[in-house]
Structure 1
C-alpha cells in the first residue's frame, strides 16, 4: 500500500508524518491543506535524509495491511457469533444471548485496541519502506 504525507516531526530515527487523504479530490487546490490531511503516522526511518516539511512517499507491506483489515473487520464478527451461540448452548434466553453477543463484541474491540497499541504499532513502524522524498 502506497501513501504519502508531510513530515511533522523527527526525533532520532522516528519520523511522524501527517498522511494525505487518498482520494480524487485530495490533490486539487480548492480546499485548505488541513482538509487534505487524514491522520498522523509514526514510523522508524532507516537512515534516509528526512527533514521536517519534506513530503515522503512510503509503502507498507500488503500482508501487514491485510492482517490488520482481517483483525478489525472479521475478528469482532466471529467473537460476536461465538458469544451468541455459546450463550444459547448454555441455555440462556434469546435476549440474554443477544446481550452476550454484544458483550463479546465489546470484549473483541477492547482486545483489538490493546493488540493495536502494543503489537501492531511496533510491526507497522518497522515495515515501512521509503519510496521517495520531496524536499521543501
Structure 2
C-alpha cells in the first residue's frame, strides 16, 4: 500500500507524515485523522533521511496491511462468535434452560472486549511496532534548505 505525503516533522528515525486520505482508507486507528477528515498523520520509519517539508512516498507491505486487519478485526470477531456459542452452550447445558440470546450476546461482547484488551497490551509492549509501521521509500520533491 503506497501513499504520497509531506513530512511534517522528524523525531530520530521516524517522521510525521501528513497524507491525503484516500477512499480506500478505513478507520483502523493506525493513523491520526485530521480535523477535516481529509488528511491523516502517520509516523513512518525514515531510513532515507527525508527532511521536514519533503514530498515523500510512504509504503506498507500489503501482507502487513492484511495481517494488521486480521489482528484488529478478525480476532475480535472470532472471539465474539466463540463467546456467543459458549453463552448458548452455558444456558443449554449448565443452566438447562432454553436458549437465551441475551446471555449469548453478552458473553460474545465480553470475549470480544477481552480480545481487544489483549491486542492493546501486546501493542503497548511493542509486539506489532516495527512490522506494521509504514516506511518512507522515496523522496519525490526535496525541499531546499
Alignment TM class, shorter chain as reference: 0.7 to 0.9
Alignment size in residue pairs: 124
2:10 and 2:103 mapped to 1: Cα distance?
51
Residues 50 and 139 in structure 2, CA contact (< 8 A), matched pair in contact too = no
Q: Which runs of 5+ in 2 are unaligned?
A: 24-33
Structure 1 residues 133 and 49 mapped into 2: Cα distance closer, same or farther (>3 Å)? farther
SS in 2 for 1:90: helix
Residue by residue, what CA displacement relative to the aligned partner does 1:56-115 show, whole Å, maximum 9, x if unpaired?
A: 112211110011112222211110010111122233561222211111122222233334
CA RMSD for the aligned pairs? 2.3
Once the two structures are superposed, the pairs formed by residues 80-91 of structure 1 within 5 Å of their partners are: 80-91=80-91
Task: Determine the structure 2 residue equivalent to 1:37.
Answer: 39
- Length-normalised TM-score, structure 1: 0.76
1:120 and 1:22 mapped to 2: Cα distance?
24
Task: Determine the structure 1 residue equivalent to 2:128.
Answer: 120
Whose helix proportion is higher, 1 or 2? 1
- Length-normalised TM-score, structure 2: 0.72
